[in-house]
Amino acid sequence: MSETSDMHSQTQTRQLPLDMMRGVAALMVVAYHYTSRLGELYPQYGSAFTFGIGHVGVHVFFVISGYVIFMTLNKLRAAGLGVVDFAKARFYRLYPIFWVAVGVTFALVSQLTLPGREASWSDALLNLTMIPRLLGANFVDGVYWSLEVELIFYFWIAAIYFLVPPRLFPIALFVWVLLGKAVAVLAPQLSLFTAIRVLIIGDWVPLFALGISIYLFHNRRVGPRTLFLFALVFCVDAFTTLEPLESVVVIICAGLIYLFTSRWYSNFGAPSFRPLVWFGAISYPLYLVHQNIGYALILRLRDAGVHAPIALLTVISVVIALSSALTYGVEKPIMRWTRRDASRGPAVEPANGV
């Protein structure tokens, strides 16, 4: 079997478990925003049930992203393609559905109103770049911050991947991790480091790096000692930046990603849980549209006298339906078109869902 076809086989056998993890991460974030975060922003509408730990779903997305993006880069290299092809694939995968989500969110929130979280027309236009914070604009939806982190990650990982010899890549990756964390620690004391902290995503590099190191280990590019080193940095970072229980949850999820992407799991043929696979399939649109639209709808329903549990279930149903419509009406047709349009190269990989 050729290297390209072997990679394709790996993608197929490991895609469903990763989709399940995306589904879990997406549901964690939604539960967090609709309970704990809603109560913080609008105390009078808060729920008796809270799920503060759900915010670490974003951390899980970043670990998955590290794995998937590095797998994509390897497929590109095997197909004789380069950084331009990587940029084009990422653009088609992320931007079209994102533009639709920005438009839908801006229109609905402007119509429904959401005190303290409304955006201007100029904000909305700058949000289309996916890096509004770097341009001095407000987010149309607060969840977009993680997409900005993703774009910066794409830039740096592509630069390292295509400029550094493969045998030196793990060293370059580890240097990036150490440099990023050093800047993150120094940033509160030195104002200059604040901008650098954003530009090298110092707070988030260990998460992406762990996903990459898992891929490298499973594909025999690094040994167990290298994987252990990245895992150790990841664990130390988790326990020093998160609450203890949150750290444990993130580490368990990372362990599941390691298990689900292993050859043992693929050979074992463990069954997938279809509802989570489906949530993984709609996770990117769900992530994009659930927060501010959900808040605005919950506030409207509660003001109309609807009990909190019923309002919450109603809004969850609405955003899932909206996300499904965007997935199957916009996202998947665009993906089919880009696959037909591409004369060569690997299919576009699913986004991280953040």
The predicted-structure confidence for 11-34, as pLDDT tens digits, reads as follows 555 678 889 999 999 999 999 999
Structural domain includes residue 48? yes
- Determine the Cα–Cα distance for residues 235 and 251; give it in Å rounded to an integer: 7
Structural domain includes residue 337? yes
Structural domain includes residue 277? yes
What lies within 8 Å, CB to CB, of 220 at 6+ separation is: none
State which amino acid sits at residue 76.
Answer: L
Residue 11 has a pLDDT of: 52
Structural domain includes residue 347? no
Structural domain includes residue 351? no
- Determine the Cα–Cα distance for residues 176 and 170; give it in Å rounded to an integer: 10
Residue 270 has a pLDDT of: 61
pTM of this prediction? 0.90
Residue 144 has a pLDDT of: 96
CA distance readout (Å), 3 to 10, 16, 76, 121, 289: 10, 21, 11, 48, 38
Residue 350 has a pLDDT of: 52
Residue 114 has a pLDDT of: 93
Structural domain includes residue 111? yes
Residue 223 has a pLDDT of: 84
Residue 186 has a pLDDT of: 81
Q: In which residue ranges of the chain is pLDDT below 70? A: 1-14, 192-193, 269-271, 340-354
Structural domain includes residue 110? yes
CA distance readout (Å), 200 to 24, 194, 235: 28, 10, 20
Q: Quote the DSSP letter at residue 346.
A: P
Where helices occur in the chain by DSSP H, the ranges are: 3-32, 38-41, 57-78, 83-112, 121-127, 145-163, 169-186, 191-199, 205-218, 224-241, 244-260, 263-268, 274-281, 283-289, 291-303, 308-326, 332-341
Looking at the structure of the chain, the number of domains it has is: 1
Task: Give pairs for 267-275: CB < 8 Å, separation 24+.
Answer: 272/16, 272/17, 272/19, 272/20, 273/20, 275/23
Residue 13 has a pLDDT of: 54
The span from the first CA to the last CA of the chain, in angstroms, equals: 34
Give the range of the structural domain holding residue 181, as residue numbers without chain letter. 3-341
Structural domain includes residue 263? yes
Residue 2 has a pLDDT of: 42
